[in-house]
Structure formats: C-alpha cells, structure tokens
Amino acid sequence: MEQNEMLLEFTKEDKEQGLNVVDLGALGKFIAEYLVVKTNVVVVYAYGYWYPTEEALKLWKANMDDAPFWSGLEYIPYSMILSKSGTTATDIFRPTWRGYTIVPLFTIGACAKKLERR
C-alpha cells in the first residue's frame, strides 16, 4: 500500500446489511469486498464481484457462464471526508458519486472451468 492510499474493508455487519452492494442499473450490480482510497486525488477503487445484466454482457462481449467477474470499480465521490482512525468503508461507498468506471479483472467462472479441465 502506497503512502497516499488507504485500505478500507467492509465489516461482516456491513455485508449482512447489504451496505457493500450498489445497483449499477443497466450494467447490473456490484458487491464490494474492500476499497482503496487515493487520498491525494480523491479517487476510490472498489474491488469485488460484478454481476452484469445480459445487456452489459453484450457490451463486454462476455459470457454469463463466467459471471460473477472479479472487478474494479473506480469512482469519484462528490464529497469525501477522511480520518485515519474513524473512516469506514461504508462512509466512502454510500455517498453519491460523480461517475464511475467498471473494469472486469478476472472471471470466477472461467477459472473454475480451467480447474475442472485438469
């Protein structure tokens, strides 16, 4: 972890309450596992599982059998107040975003298929 980065993990309680889930509309839903906050440029990288819609799969030319996709979700919150000791993942994940980009990094289904072939 770089000096200008902050790692924030969701608690078990956050996950049970669905506070790590975001609806991406036509692109599906994203379930975050943890966040990496770039404190010098106010950008957040959420890492977790993306469950795309059929429509989104067409854009990425992907196969639903390979979903969910281990992905990165980069976004810029409208406001972000950071405290080294008191900031939680939900503090940063829940506010309104200016925009986002989702990038599939690894497919769980494709990995399982490779393991089955061995």
> Quick one: how many helices (H) and strands (E) in the chain?
4, 6
Query: CA–CA separation, 1 vs 33, rounded Å?
Result: 17
Q: Which domain holds residue 84?
A: 5-117
**Cα–Cα distances in Å, from 83 out to 14, 41, 74?**
19, 15, 21
| Percentage with pLDDT > 90 across the chain | 26
- pTM value is 0.76
Domain count, the chain: 1
Question: In this predicted model, what pLDDT tens digit does every residue of 38-67 receive, in sequence order?
Answer: 877 777 889 999 999 988 888 777 777 888
Question: In this predicted model, what pLDDT tens digit does every residue of 1-28 receive, in sequence order?
Answer: 567 788 889 999 999 999 999 999 988 9
Reading the block at residue 19, the tokens are: 């506070």
Could you tell me what percentage of the chain is helix, strand and coil, using 3-state DSSP and rounding each to the nearest 5?
30, 40, 30
Task: Count CB atoms within 10 A of the CB of residue 76.
Answer: 15
